[in-house]
């Protein structure tokens, strides 16, 4: 019993409490639903190492990339290709860890609900902060371990093909696990340190606003780095040889140097990079822990005990022009003020904006640069105005639907429930106009002048009309089953597997959008194709719009989102069995 009392003390129970309710909030009608999302994330990260497998993993003798390099450039070419693959892997792991840390930003410090729930218990504020930090660290360590497990086993077989720099598999596997693990923890603690620095430097009024934009900007950077990592593995030996001049201050280079040092194949440059990476990781850990435990008093005083200051939503007035009725104006004003005041929703929207910007910049850095080298910058700009509007529509419309699905104060939706029957159709119309004004119109208002400059007014106008019809069709398809007022319905996470969500984005951005862009290019170049595609895309949009608007104002709005799968408790079978037994005992029922 003494062992039980020592291990199950206040700190242990607090850590268990925070782990069990890591992401729970008032957005869900049932506590603990975040676990399905976490399980989906682990199920995605755990097999992520399979992405490293190429044709050489099954038979290293026929690894085409390394075989050709060995024939053309010898051991130096093979070593350069292996370093490029290692850099790509470390960059991808760093970016995924950075995104995971940004999503945990809100969970790094105790919330107001935590303080209210624990106020009556004999616990100190420092114990609460310590438990919160330990719970987030344990959760992140589990995710990082799951993410690095298979890459650490597959990379030694894959990177280098049959011409491995080192013949010891376990040495390379251990070096891979250590270098990539330290890289992931460096990013995690660096973001934690950044939050602590902002909290101690900025006033409370500015911290809540500035930190959201910092999170959104970092999310865009990490998404861009994750997309760009797939092109790093195609670097040639000449690019690798220029790393001392161009990449000495890039974190992936530091930890790739650490990997080279641990395997015994490093030169002076990678030895210096390994030392820089270890020093940076140590500074990040020390700064994060120091600022975290120093700032707990300031955090409680400035962010928990300070009065709530509501942000102004001055941008709502221009949107009222779209209303044309008092009810639509009220709903539009409600949505605009919620986005302006809610830190969570503003962050989610900034993350999706960062994703759209990452797609644009990645296209500019890779495809645009290829076009520029081969056909000139006018061709590169032409590629961007053809591809990016549809890609942005896919990302931003999905993101806006996700943002509108998360409630602000879910228990407070009773005010809408008692008045919803008076204007359901106008409420849905307000949502439609708000999404078009926020997510669709800015894309074409920004890009149409560029398209007109590159293609000329007639071709730009035809292209924009076709792209706009496709964007509107995407909106109709995404909001076909939408039957709730934004920010008022509970949310069930991970209704669809995370692997399926990622696969959907990859298929849309990598296959569907390029095919549609090629079709639009043909339509604006061949005159007789334009009216045909205009009729097809226009008819599709009208069909989807009519189907979506059927029954407007009749069906009751949703205020509680229930899980798609309901456990079968055997009640149906028991009821049927009991009914059959009663009928057998009652001859008159026959």
Tell me which of 283, 307, 331 is where a domain ends: 307
The least confident of 77-86, 190-199, 514-523 is 77-86
* Res 566: pLDDT: 44
Same domain, 519 and 471: yes
What is the mean predicted confidence (pLDDT) over 198-211?
Answer: 78
**What is the number of residues in the chain?**
590
Most confident range (mean pLDDT) of 164-178, 232-246, 451-465 is 451-465
* Res 224: pLDDT: 85
Question: pLDDT-based confidence at 289, cuts 50/70/90?
Answer: confident
The least confident of 210-219, 268-277, 340-349, 386-395 is 340-349
* Res 186: pLDDT: 94
Within a domain: 328: no
**298-351 pLDDT, tens digit each:** 666 665 555 445 445 444 456 666 767 788 888 888 888 888 878 778 888 888
Note whether 471 and 539 are within 8 A (CB): no
Question: pLDDT-based confidence at 64, cuts 50/70/90?
Answer: low
The least confident of 49-58, 93-102, 306-315, 579-588 is 579-588
Within a domain: 53: no
Q: Any idea of the CA torsion for 200, 206, 211, 213, to the nearest 10 degrees?
A: -150
* Res 264: pLDDT: 77
**349-369 pLDDT, tens digit each:** 888 888 888 877 776 655 555
What is the mean predicted confidence (pLDDT) over 216-223?
Answer: 87
* Res 536: pLDDT: 93
Same domain, 234 and 356: no
**525-553 pLDDT, tens digit each:** 888 888 999 999 999 999 999 988 886 66
Q: Which residue has the higher pLDDT, 76 or 560?
A: 560
Residues 475 and 470: their CA atoms lie apart, in Å, by 9
Same domain, 453 and 585: yes
Question: pLDDT-based confidence at 55, cuts 50/70/90?
Answer: very low
Within a domain: 30: no
Please determine, for residue 406, whether its predicted confidence score (pLDDT) is greater than 80.
yes
Residues 221 and 94: their CA atoms lie apart, in Å, by 11
Which pTM does this prediction carry? 0.76
* Res 407: pLDDT: 85
Within a domain: 318: no
Measured at the CA of 581, the angle between CA 578 and CA 582, to 5 degrees, comes to 90
Within a domain: 37: no
Residues 571 and 564: their CA atoms lie apart, in Å, by 19
Note whether 313 and 290 are within 8 A (CB): no
Mean pLDDT of the chain: 75
Please determine, for residue 576, whether its predicted confidence score (pLDDT) is greater than 50.
no
Same domain, 380 and 286: no
**487-498 pLDDT, tens digit each:** 888 776 655 655
Domain containing 163 equals 1-21+63-307
- Count the domains in the chain: 2
Q: Is 406 helix (H, G, I), strand (E, B) or coil?
A: coil
- 332-364 burial, b for 16+ CB within 10 Å, e for fewer? bbbbbbbbbbbeebbbbbbbbbbbbbbbbbbbb
What is the mean predicted confidence (pLDDT) over 88-103?
Answer: 87
Please determine, for residue 569, whether its predicted confidence score (pLDDT) is greater than 80.
no
Same domain, 252 and 382: no
Same domain, 491 and 558: yes
Please determine, for residue 474, whether its predicted confidence score (pLDDT) is greater than 80.
yes
Within a domain: 31: no
Q: Which residue has the higher pLDDT, 531 or 581?
A: 531
Sequential DSSP letters for 272-327 = HHHHHHHHHHHHHHHHHHHHHHHSHHHHIIIIISSPP-PPP-TTHHHHGGGT-SHH
Residues 508 and 464: their CA atoms lie apart, in Å, by 19
Within a domain: 515: yes
Note whether 541 and 472 are within 8 A (CB): yes
Same domain, 419 and 283: no
Within a domain: 332: no
Same domain, 168 and 208: yes
φ/ψ (deg, to 5) at 154: -90, -35
* Res 469: pLDDT: 93
Q: How many CB atoms lie within 10 A of CB 86?
A: 26
Same domain, 240 and 356: no
* Res 457: pLDDT: 85
* Res 585: pLDDT: 41
Same domain, 392 and 287: no
* Res 427: pLDDT: 82
Please determine, for residue 448, whether its predicted confidence score (pLDDT) is greater than 60.
yes
What is the mean predicted confidence (pLDDT) over 154-172?
Answer: 67
The least confident of 96-110, 162-176, 567-581 is 567-581
Same domain, 229 and 279: yes
* Res 2: pLDDT: 54
Note whether 324 and 165 are within 8 A (CB): no
Same domain, 422 and 463: yes
């Amino acid at each position: 019993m003494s062992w039980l009392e020592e291990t199950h003390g206040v700190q242990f129970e607090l850590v268990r409490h925070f782990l069990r309710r890591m992401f729970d909030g008032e957005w869900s009608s049932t506590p603990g639903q975040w676990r399905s999302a976490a399980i989906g994330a682990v199920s995605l990260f755990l097999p992520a190492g399979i992405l490293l497998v190429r044709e050489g993993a099954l038979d290293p003798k026929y690894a085409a990339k390394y075989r050709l390099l060995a024939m053309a450039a010898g051991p130096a070419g093979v070593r350069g290709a292996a370093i490029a693959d290692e850099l790509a892997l470390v960059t991808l792991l760093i970016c995924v860890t950075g995104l995971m840390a940004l999503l945990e930003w809100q969970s790094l410090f105790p919330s107001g609900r935590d303080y209210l729930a624990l106020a009556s218990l004999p616990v100190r504020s420092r114990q609460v902060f310590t438990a919160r930090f330990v719970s987030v660290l344990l959760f992140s360590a589990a995710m990082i371990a799951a993410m690095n497990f298979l890459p650490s086993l597959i990379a030694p077989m894959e990177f280098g093909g049959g011409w491995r720099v080192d013949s010891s598999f376990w040495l390379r596997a251990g070096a891979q696990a250590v270098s990539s693990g330290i890289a992931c923890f460096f990013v995690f603690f660096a973001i934690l340190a950044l939050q602590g620095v902002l909290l101690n430097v900025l006033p409370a009024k500015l911290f809540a606003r500035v930190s959201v934009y910092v999170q959104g900007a970092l999310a865009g950077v990490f998404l861009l780095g994750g997309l760009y990592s797939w092109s790093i593995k195609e670097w040639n030996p000449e690019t690798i040889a220029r790393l001392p001049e161009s990449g000495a201050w890039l974190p992936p280079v530091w930890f790739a140097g650490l990997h080279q040092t641990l395997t015994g194949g490093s030169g002076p440059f990678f030895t210096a990079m390994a030392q820089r990476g270890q020093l940076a990781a140590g500074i990040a850990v020390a700064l994060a822990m120091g600022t975290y435990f120093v700032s707990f008093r300031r955090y409680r005083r400035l962010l928990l005990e300070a009065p709530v200051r509501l942000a102004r939503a001055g941008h709502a007035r221009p949107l009222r022009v779209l209303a044309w009725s008092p009810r639509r104006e009220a709903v539009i004003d409600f949505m605009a003020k919620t986005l302006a005041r809610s830190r969570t929703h503003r962050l989610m929207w900034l993350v999706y904006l960062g994703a759209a910007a990452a797609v644009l910049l990645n296209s500019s850095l890779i495809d645009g640069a290829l076009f520029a080298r081969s056909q000139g910058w006018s061709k590169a700009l032409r590629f961007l105005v053809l591809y990016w509007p549809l890609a942005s529509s896919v990302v931003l419309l999905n993101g806006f639907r996700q943002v509108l699905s998360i409630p602000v104060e879910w228990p407070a939706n009773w005010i809408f429930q008692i008045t919803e029957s008076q204007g359901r159709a106008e409420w849905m119309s307000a949502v439609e106009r708000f999404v078009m004004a926020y997510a669709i119109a800015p894309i074409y208002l920004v890009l149409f002048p560029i398209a007109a400059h590159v293609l000329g007014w007639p071709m730009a106008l035809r292209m924009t009309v076709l792209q706009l019809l496709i964007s509107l069709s995407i909106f109709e398809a995404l909001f076909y089953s939408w039957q709730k007022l934004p920010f008022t319905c509970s949310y069930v996470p991970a209704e669809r597997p995370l692997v399926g969500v990622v696969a959907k984005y990859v298929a849309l951005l990598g296959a569907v959008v390029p095919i549609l862009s090629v079709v639009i290019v043909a339509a604006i170049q061949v005159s007789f194709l334009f009216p045909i595609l205009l009729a097809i895309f226009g008819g599709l949009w009208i069909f989807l719009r009519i189907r979506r608007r059927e029954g407007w104002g009749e069906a009751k709005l949703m205020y509680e989102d229930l899980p798609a799968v309901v456990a079968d408790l055997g009640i149906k079978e028991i009821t049927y069995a009991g009914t059959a037994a009663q009928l057998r005992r009652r001859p008159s029922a026959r």
